[in-house]
Amino acid sequence: MSRRVSVVSLRGLSKEFSRGGVVALQNIDLEIAPGEFVSLIGPSGCGKSTLLRVIGDLVEPTGGEVVVNGKSARQARLDRDYGIVFQDAVLYDWRTVAKNIALPLEMGGWNRGRRRARVGEMIELVELGGFEGHHPWQLSGGMQQRVSIARALSFDPSLLLMDEPFGALDEMTRERLNMELLRIWERARSTIVFVTHSISEAVFLSTRVVVMSARPGQITGVVEVDLPQPRNAETRGEPRFFELVTEVRERLRAGGLDTAGEGGEEELIAAEEGL
């Protein structure tokens, strides 16, 4: 595939929830190139989680077009093009760390030997050596999230969708996992779409920050992050970092920091899916 082909291509995308007639997304256009790290940021209810779910074919759009790796979102899902990480690790309690990481491989029909080898690589990648046989409840929140990331990467998906993956962690764990994620991203050379509430996290991690506003959910601006790669602890102290943080913050303010309806989006998704 040539480098010009987008991994994700959204045209005129909209999503209206049938219950309450709320417009979660309106007229979204976005192209994401291979190897990009794109953050979606915006106030609660701006539809950023919905957008992520539409890309991943977990929610159907009501209008517009989603093309992933040159095919429909559904086909991309069936081809196992997506690795997904949620805010909670969503690990299976009854499986060990190793078995949790192996789950997508079992779905993909990998044989036992290949599974074992790949799980070993993943354990090493997320630095969880010695914890293979542990069950999730024996791990800290940060370690659980590392297992979740290893699971999402295990089958080498071309697109990693992350929905506030570090939102429930303390600041220190969060910054450490940010560094780890960048290291993993560089090694795996995958494309990442990352939903976050944190401006500094978005700027630190991304090659591009997409700013959204609420009601209806729209893209109000795109900030190119021209900080040099690879990024490290010093990056957060550079003047350019602060300039970019300020730029994102101002874009957010321009879009209206309407936080009415905290968590409204999750509820809408739940209602839509009849959960």
Partner 1 sequence: MPVMASAAVATERWSILSADRVRRGASQGAMLLGVLAGLWALWEGFKWFGEAVDLKIGVFVVDDRTLPHLHSIVARLFEPTAVGDRLLTVLLEAALFTAKEAAVGFAMGAAIGFLIAIVLVHSGLLQRGLLPYIVASQTIPILAVAPMVVVWLGGRGLPGWFSVAVIAAYLTFFPVAINTLRGLQSADPRALELMQSYAASRWAILWKLRVPASLPYLFAAFKISATASIVGAIIGELPAGIQDGLGGAILNFNQYYASSPDDLWATNLIAALLGLSFFLLIVLAERLIVRRAPEHVA
Q: Are 226 and 65 in contact (CB under 8 A)?
A: no
Residues that bind partner 1 (CB under 8 A): 53, 56-58, 77-80, 82-84, 86, 88, 90, 92-95, 103-104, 106-108, 127-131, 134-140, 143, 155, 270, 273, 275
The residue among 58 and 188 lying less far from partner 1, judged by its C-beta, is: 58
Task: State the minimum distance, in angstroms, from the CB of residue 251 to partner 1.
Answer: 30
- What's the CA dihedral at 183, 150, 202, 264 to 10 degrees? 180
The residue among 109 and 228 lying less far from partner 1, judged by its C-beta, is: 109
Q: Write the DSSP string, 46-110.
A: SSHHHHHHHHTTSS--SEEEEEETTEEHHHHHHTT-EEEE-SS----TTS-HHHHHHHHHHHTT-
The residue among 121 and 127 lying less far from partner 1, judged by its C-beta, is: 127
Task: State the minimum distance, in angstroms, from the CB of residue 180 to partner 1.
Answer: 12
* 3-state DSSP assignment of residue 115: helix
The residue among 31 and 88 lying less far from partner 1, judged by its C-beta, is: 88
Task: State the minimum distance, in angstroms, from the CB of residue 226 to partner 1.
Answer: 32
The residue among 157 and 217 lying less far from partner 1, judged by its C-beta, is: 157
The residue among 108 and 230 lying less far from partner 1, judged by its C-beta, is: 108
Handedness of CA 34, 203, 86, 165 (dihedral sign): positive
8 - beta bridge partners? 32, 68
Q: Are 215 and 182 in contact (CB under 8 A)?
A: no
Q: Are 96 and 135 in contact (CB under 8 A)?
A: yes
Task: State the minimum distance, in angstroms, from the CB of residue 75 to partner 1.
Answer: 10
The rounded distance, in Å, linking the Cα atoms of 203 and 238 is 12
Task: State the minimum distance, in angstroms, from the CB of residue 115 to partner 1.
Answer: 14
Q: Tokens for 12?
A: 């005129």
Task: State the minimum distance, in angstroms, from the CB of residue 229 to partner 1.
Answer: 25
The burial of 71, by beta-carbon neighbours within 10 Å (0-12 exposed, 13-18 middle, 19 or more buried), is given as middle
Q: Can you say whether residue 117 is alpha, beta or left, with left for phi > 0 and alpha for psi between -120 and 50 degrees?
A: alpha
Task: State the minimum distance, in angstroms, from the CB of residue 78 to partner 1.
Answer: 5
The one-character DSSP state at 165 is: T
The residue among 18 and 246 lying less far from partner 1, judged by its C-beta, is: 18
